[in-house]
Amino acid sequence: MDHASLVQELRAFVAERDWSQFHDPKNLAMLLASEAGELLAEYRFIPNDRADAFSREPEARQRIASEIGDVGIALLLLCDRTGIDPYAAMRDKLARNRERYPVALSRGRAARPTNL
Amino acid sequence: MDHASLVQELRAFVAERDWSQFHDPKNLAMLLASEAGELLAEYRFIPNDRADAFSREPEARQRIASEIGDVGIALLLLCDRTGIDPYAAMRDKLARNRERYPVALSRGRAARPTNL
Amino acid sequence: MDHASLVQELRAFVAERDWSQFHDPKNLAMLLASEAGELLAEYRFIPNDRADAFSREPEARQRIASEIGDVGIALLLLCDRTGIDPYAAMRDKLARNRERYPVALSRGRAARPTNL
Amino acid sequence: MDHASLVQELRAFVAERDWSQFHDPKNLAMLLASEAGELLAEYRFIPNDRADAFSREPEARQRIASEIGDVGIALLLLCDRTGIDPYAAMRDKLARNRERYPVALSRGRAARPTNL
């Protein structure tokens, strides 16, 4: 399976470099946030109404995919280190979001932190 | 498949609420970074040598899994919107990282931004 | 002076709570990034062309000012801990930015990471 | 005054490059968060008990000061654009924090999001 085999490859990558010592969950949460910041940087001066088209420009797309790769790897490393299943965590959160944002109240209205 | 079926459920969740209008890639990159910031907040005053044990405490674990769910959902929404395959992006990045961090030079040494 | 007296008050706040032990530069960098993430969350579903007006709405303004307060405090704590003068650091960076973004080349063009 | 004169210089820097069009509060909040992510990256594999010493190493110190400069500039640009006084915001927040974290309850205990 794609997910499981990638996790195996990540484990091998880390083990070969003896990097497990640096990969406690605190450091991996930092890695994840700093990579998310790099992804954010790609869009910081792109207006909302150009963001889809920008994401399709070949050079931008390659950089964005590269940052998505970094964020995804950091997330999988953190999940593997803590033993948290990312798909179970996402399904749980989606179920909770269905309750927090009932269709009747949320339709067409952006959820802001204050609506939570 | 787990990944594909979750993406389908996320699409339905967004469509029912008519939230596609808010989910351009710029806004989703912001969502991802702000959720990564919440995950980071869990660990900000936990020392490195307690981060693994902390991640196993039942209440902390539940909050961390919940934040991982948020980050993962934001990442999948962004990938779906931009048409970027997260697993392909992670595999490409892992291949590049194998080159950037040769075992002989990287073994036991943390990769800092300046080492890139 | 405003800046110096606020730094004094922050030192007293930390000392009274014996929080210096938690405030090493790594943890303060995490605090700063997580607070910046909360500020970001305020704007995540606001379109660019409504962001100025949104920032003037009384309730939003109060939340934004509160997050700016958190970010500023985290920045001053980090500067005080590391002995880095924030105004000297900003002036140095502004001088460098004047060189990196010559007016003739930068006028009316957003600086993206690739332009650096 | 240091703060006021720096704000004037930042305004001139932005005006000369006609960048005001890119500097709505949403984009500036993204700039701030992405710069905070770069500062975070400096510390991501440094253990807590080495973070003070690391911050004094000449090369690391220079990079950290440079990132602090970026974060500070982004914060001042956002404050100037929204008309929010950063020192007033910090003082308000400090006053509120004194109430939220009474000395008797907070002494020697890290404030985690759940303690708020």
Amino acid at C47: P
Report d(CA D111, CA C53) in Å as an integer: 34
Closest CA–CA distance from residue C57 to any residue of chain D (Å): 11
Could you identify the residue written with the tokens 């787990």?
Answer: B2
Pair D7, D76: CB distance under 8 Å: yes
Q: D112 vs B45: CB contact, 8 Å cut-off?
A: yes
* CB proximity list for D101: less than 8 A, separation 6 or greater: C17, D111
For residues D35 and D66, what is the distance between their CA atoms, to the nearest angstrom?
Answer: 10
From first to last of the 116 residues of chain A, give the pLDDT tens digit.
689 999 999 999 999 999 999 999 999 999 999 999 999 999 999 999 999 999 999 999 999 999 999 999 999 999 999 999 999 999 999 999 999 999 999 999 886 544 43
CB C112 within 8 A of CB A45: yes
Q: How many CB pairs under 8 A join B and C?
A: 41
Report the pLDDT value the prediction gives residue A38, as an integer from 0 to 100.
98
C15, C21, C22, C26 alpha-carbon torsion, rounded to 10°: 120
The average pLDDT across D23-30 equals: 98
Compute the nearest-CA separation of A80 from chain B (Å): 12
Nearest to C45 among A41, A47, A110 (CB): A110
Which among B79, B54, C97 is positioned nearest to D17, based on CA atoms?
Answer: C97
Least confident of A99-113, B22-36, C3-17, C42-56: A99-113
Q: How far apart are CA C90 and CA D35, in angstroms?
A: 13
Q: How far is B18 from chain A (nearest CA, A)?
A: 5
Return d(Cα B73, Cα B76) in angstroms, integer: 5
Neighbours of B82 (CB within 10 A): 22
Backbone angles phi, psi at C101, to 5 degrees: -125, 75
Looking at chain B, which residue has its C-alpha nearest residue A13?
B98
* Mean pLDDT to the nearest integer, D87-106: 96
What tokens does D79 get? 């404050």
Query: Residue C83: which region, alpha, beta or left (left: phi > 0; alpha: psi -120 to 50)?
Result: left
Best probe of the B interface among D27, D40, D44, D48, by most B CBs < 10 A, is D48
> At which residue do the structure tokens 């800046």 appear?
C3
Residue A35 sits at the chain C interface (C-beta within 8 Å)? no
Higher pLDDT, A112 or C107: C107
Angle D70-D74-D77 from CA coordinates, rounded to 5°: 140
With contacts defined as CB-CB under 8 Å, which chain C residues touch D77?
A: none
Phi, psi (rounded to 5 degrees) for B37: -65, -35
pLDDT band, residue B113 (cuts 50/70/90): very low
Mean pLDDT of chain B: 94
Angle, vertex CA B47, rays to CA B42 and CA B52, nearest 5: 70
Q: Is the ipTM of this complex over 0.90?
A: yes
- Cβ count within 10 A of residue A5: 11
D55 alpha carbon, distance to own chain's centre:
17
At residue B114, the pLDDT reads 45
Q: Which of C75, C99, C100 is nearest to C87 (CA)?
A: C75
Nearest CA-CA partner of A89 in B51, B75, B71: B71
In angstroms, the CA C30 to CA D74 distance is 17
Closest residue by Cα to residue A28 from D26, D61, B16, B54: B54
Mean pLDDT confidence for D30-41: 98
* CB-based contact B45 D114, cutoff 8 Å: no
| Cα dihedral: A53, A56, A59, A61 (round 10) | 120
Flag whether pLDDT at D74 surpasses 70. Answer: yes
**Length reported for chain B:** 116
Residue B94 with chain A: CB contacts under 8 Å = 6, 9-10, 13, 69, 73
| pLDDT beyond 60 at C114 | no
Question: In sequence order, what are the residues at sequence separation of 6 or more whose Cβ sits closer than 8 angstroms to the Cβ of residue D11?
Answer: D80
**Does the pLDDT at position C1 exceed 90?**
no
Q: Would the CB atoms of A41 and C113 count as touching at under 8 Å?
A: yes
- What pLDDT does residue D7 have? 98
**pLDDT tens digits for C89-106?**
999 999 999 999 999 999
Cβ-defined contact of B26 to A16 (cutoff 8 Å): no
User: Please, what is the Cα angle at B28 between C27 and C71, to 5 degrees?
Assistant: 30
Q: How distant is the Cα of A111 from the closest Cα of chain B, in angstroms? A: 9
User: How confident is the model at residue C110, as a pLDDT?
Assistant: 83
**Mean pLDDT of the region C19-24:** 97
- The C-alpha angle with vertex A95 and arms to A93 and A98, in degrees rounded to 5, equals 110
pLDDT at position D112: 56
